[in-house]
Amino acid sequence: MGQILHKRATTTHAIRKQIQEHQGDINSIAKKFNIDWTTAKKWKNRDSVEDKPMGNGRANSSLSLDEDWLICEVRKLTWLPLDDLHQILKPMFSKLSRSALHRCLQYYGISKKPKELKQKPHRSKFKSYEIGYLHIDITDFWLDKKKWSLFVAIDRETKFTYAEIFNKKTMENSVLFLENVYKFFPYKIHTILTDNGLQFSYRALSKTLKTDKIHPFDTLCETHNTEHRLTKFAHPWTNGQVEKMNHIIKSATLKLFHYETIDEYSKHLAKFLNYYNFEKKLKSLKFNSPYDKILSEYKKNPGLFLGDPCGYCVGLNS
């Protein structure tokens, strides 16, 4: 294990040990180890080979020892955050500043709350569903001085993913994307989760613009007996699976490579999705690929599928 020495140290732990065991006088020790006699004297008279903390400790503190004691007792009883503790103690000590309080807690080693007292945040397990629960979202990107929209759909259980590029995020394009989603997935889609964008729902419209019409996206969902769910307003993490997938796609394509045209990017995107769906081993799937997960689900419950997925990917992956 490495030794932690101050910047101007002229001795190591081993040399200090030899100095302490040496039988000669201070001058002979200094000459033998080529060090100053004050250094030789210091380590000869010490029992430890570790450096002592430098500085004058609490000499410049604006607090008395009694005030230090009271602060420490309040801290140990409450373990309140620094700002809350400062608000409580400020009426008692008129000259107590936040920085002085922090220095006091650091000096006595109680600036951090003990691990055994920290409450771990309660994280509920992600609810599991049958395959066919899709998360859909839209993410924008710029290419060739033009803004494009990437529509992404991912299955919650299998992580099977479909993505398509459109020049605009409109209701018509969202419906066209959903039609292609139904054609792409080899099993029945029973639930779709989206945000409240106008591409998917009229829910975000103001009261003056509210309409009784059924959104075209909902109409297509009803045609396929699919339940369309919406996230809560200002809660994008509810649709976190597809948000994460957006990041994965961009990190593997747009952030790594330069594309001259949208066609070039579209071809590379298709190659990446083929790799992700059929080859990439995912930790969340116990190191199986999304396609492996689909095959295992087909063996368990073939009634959920529109056909045999075994021939879904034909030929070599080029």
Domain boundaries, the chain: 13-44, 65-114, 133-311
> By mean pLDDT, which of 11-20, 47-56, 159-168, 270-279 is the weakest?
47-56
- Residue 55: the pLDDT is 61
Mean pLDDT calculated for residue range 78-82: 88
State both tokens at 36.
């100053």
- Residue 211: the pLDDT is 82
Please check whether residue 279 is in contact with residue 161, taking contact to mean a CB–CB distance below 8 angstroms: no
Is the pLDDT confidence value at 318 over 80? no
- Residue 237: the pLDDT is 74
Q: At what angle do helices 98-107 and 82-89 cross, to 10 degrees?
A: 110
- Residue 4: the pLDDT is 65
Assign a CATH topology to domain 133-311. Nucleotidyltransferase; domain 5 (3.30.420)
- Residue 126: the pLDDT is 61
- Residue 292: the pLDDT is 93
For 136-146, the pLDDT digits (tens) are 999 999 998 89
Report if pTM > 0.95.
no
Percent above pLDDT 90 for the chain: 44
- Residue 144: the pLDDT is 85
Q: Is 289 exposed, middle or buried (0-12, 13-18, 19+ CB in 10 A)?
A: buried
> By mean pLDDT, which of 176-180, 267-271, 313-317 is the weakest?
313-317
